[in-house]
């Protein structure tokens, strides 16, 4: 039995295109199963990828198989590379695998018996099939095989990195590790960044772990590395950049570099606008804390804190902590008039009142109520935060 030269059409090595075609059976009328035969099997290409767009054709013609050959039964492969055919008249057949209207492989003699379901697989990865490839097909096969091996190796690296990343996050999560093991997380992320030194998210997680370990200078270096890599990437991640700048602000603040920390928070807001309210709020908290301990720059820090708080509530009117920080940053500017009456600075009492409106039972509510009472201010809940 002769066939036209078969062609090798490899499936995509990483993502096979799935195509489910309508099942066509040569016998239209239902038959008694005990008098008919059936077949099934699996089809895979030389890379052992399931062939999902193949056709299994049965013929009893002899000689050269061409367009004029009469196929009595045709079955298609499914999304897993399997096929099944039923209601086949018992007899001896030639089973031919087609793909893209071309013969790919065949089983020269298949005896189908009444009442039996016979299995016939087409494994194009078998050495006998590969040895008979044309030089052109063999070259294509080798190229795909090499690319597939490279892709598999890359996938294994990514799989290992994802595993280390998850382990590090679990080690830092108090719900999963109590107390958190930041040193373990640092060790894991050092391995990860060594294996893939150009991945921004890995450097971010390393910086986050260093902050947990209170190694703020090393944290700042790792976070800056994440930022630089993300900025240089073809496809930048705003979320990674925002988070890295945000944590860089924390690392710098803990080193006493308050102006640099404020700049980092501002950069975070620009890099990832959807989370800008959080970043501005963190900036306000950082500057307020700095002003509370560094009296040399207190006025400047408090002013910066109030400004950052205003930015935060402009984006998120329900940001209670920002209202509190603004009030605290302004209250130090309280004065008295000639009659000895205490005069609150502009915006101070309003900020406190908005805090109570947003968080009437918040952690600072008792303190805020006392401050307002000291000013003789009437408590009000008329402020309504936007939803």
Last residue of a domain, one of 97, 129, 161: 129
Q: Is 57 helix (H, G, I), strand (E, B) or coil?
A: strand
Say how far residue 83 (Cα) sits from the centre of its chain: 35
Choose the final residue of a domain: 98, 129, 160: 129
CB burial readout 290-310, b (16+ within 10 A) else e: bbeeeeeeeeebbebbbbbbb
Residue 31, CA atoms < 13 Å, CB-side half-sphere: 17
Domain CATH for 374: 1.25.40.10
- Judge whether residue 8 has pLDDT over 50: no
Q: What domain count does the chain have?
A: 2
| pTM given for the model | 0.66
- Whether residue 337 has a cis bond before it, omega within 30° of 0: no
pLDDT band at 379 (very low <50, low <70, confident <90, very high): low
Task: Note whether residue 249 is domain-resident.
Answer: no
Domain presence at residue 174:
no
The pLDDT score that the predictor gives to residue 22 is: 33
Range of the domain at 122: 2-129
Count CB-CB contacts under 10 A for residue 164. Answer: 21
Under a CB-based contact definition with an 8 Å cutoff, are residues 245 and 265 in contact?
Answer: yes
Count the neighbouring beta carbons within 10 Å of the beta carbon of residue 146: 11
pLDDT value of position 242:
98
CATH number assigned to the domain comprising residue 10 = 2.60.40.1120
Domain assignment of residue 365, yes or no:
yes
| pLDDT tens by residue, 279-304 | 999 999 999 999 998 888 999 999 99
Residue pLDDT, tens place only, 310-349: 999 999 999 999 999 999 999 999 988 888 888 999 999 9
Which residues lie across from 335 on neighbouring strands? Answer: 343
User: How would you class 368 by CB atoms within 10 Å of its CB: exposed for 0-12, middle for 13-18, buried for 19 or more?
Assistant: buried
CA separation (Å) from 158 to 155, 161, 196, 327, 354?
Answer: 5, 5, 9, 48, 48
pLDDT of residue 376: 83
9 within some domain: yes
Q: Has residue 302 been placed in a domain?
A: yes
d(CA 309, CA 286): 11
Residue that is last in its domain, among 110, 129, 148: 129
Which pLDDT value is given to residue 209? Answer: 98
Decide which of 349 and 380 is more confident.
Answer: 349
Average pLDDT over residues 15-30: 37
| 71 is a domain residue | yes
139-179, pLDDT tens digit by residue?
A: 988 998 898 888 888 889 899 999 999 999 999 999 999 99
Cα–Cα distance list, 277 to 171, 289, 384 (Å): 28, 18, 18
CA 293 – CA 64 distance, rounded (Å): 93
- The pLDDT assigned to 269 comes to 98
In a domain, 255, yes or no: no
Tell me whether residue 182 is in a domain.
no
């Amino acid at each position: 039995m002769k066939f036209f030269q078969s062609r090798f059409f490899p499936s995509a090595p990483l993502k096979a295109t799935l195509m489910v075609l309508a099942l066509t059976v040569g016998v239209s009328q239902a038959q008694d199963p005990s008098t008919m035969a059936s077949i099934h099997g699996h089809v895979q290409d030389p890379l052992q990828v399931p062939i999902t767009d193949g056709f299994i054709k049965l013929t009893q013609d002899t000689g050269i198989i061409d367009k004029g050959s009469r196929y009595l039964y045709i079955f298609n492969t499914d999304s897993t590379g399997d096929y099944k055919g039923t209601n086949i008249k018992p007899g001896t057949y030639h089973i031919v695998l087609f793909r893209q209207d071309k013969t790919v492989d065949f089983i020269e003699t298949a005896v189908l018996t009444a009442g039996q379901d016979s299995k016939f697989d087409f494994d194009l990865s078998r050495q006998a099939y590969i040895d008979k490839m044309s030089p052109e097909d063999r070259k294509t096969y080798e190229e795909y095989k090499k690319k597939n091996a490279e892709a598999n190796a890359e996938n294994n690296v990514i799989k290992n990195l994802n595993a280390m990343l998850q382990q590090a996050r679990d080690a830092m999560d108090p719900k999963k590790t109590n107390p958190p093991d930041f040193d373990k997380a640092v060790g894991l992320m050092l391995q990860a960044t060594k294996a893939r030194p150009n991945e921004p998210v890995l450097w971010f997680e390393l910086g986050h772990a260093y902050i947990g370990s209170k190694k703020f200078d090393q944290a700042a270096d790792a976070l800056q590395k994440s930022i630089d890599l993300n900025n240089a990437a073809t496809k930048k991640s705003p979320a990674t950049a925002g988070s890295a700048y945000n944590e860089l602000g924390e690392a710098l603040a803990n080193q006493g570099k308050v102006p640099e920390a404020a700049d980092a928070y501002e950069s975070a807001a620009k890099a990832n606008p959807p989370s800008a309210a959080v970043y501005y709020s963190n900036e306000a908290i950082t500057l307020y804390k700095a002003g509370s301990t560094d009296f040399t720059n207190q006025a400047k820090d408090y002013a910066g804190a109030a400004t950052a708080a205003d930015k935060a509530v402009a984006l998120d009117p329900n940001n209670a902590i920002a209202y509190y920080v603004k009030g605290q940053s302004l209250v130090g500017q309280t004065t008295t008039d000639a009659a000895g009456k205490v005069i609150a600075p502009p915006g101070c009492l309003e900020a406190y009142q908005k805090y109570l409106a947003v968080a009437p039972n918040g952690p600072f509510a008792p303190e805020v109520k006392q401050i307002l009472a000291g000013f003789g201010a009437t408590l009000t809940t008329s402020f309504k935060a936007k939803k």
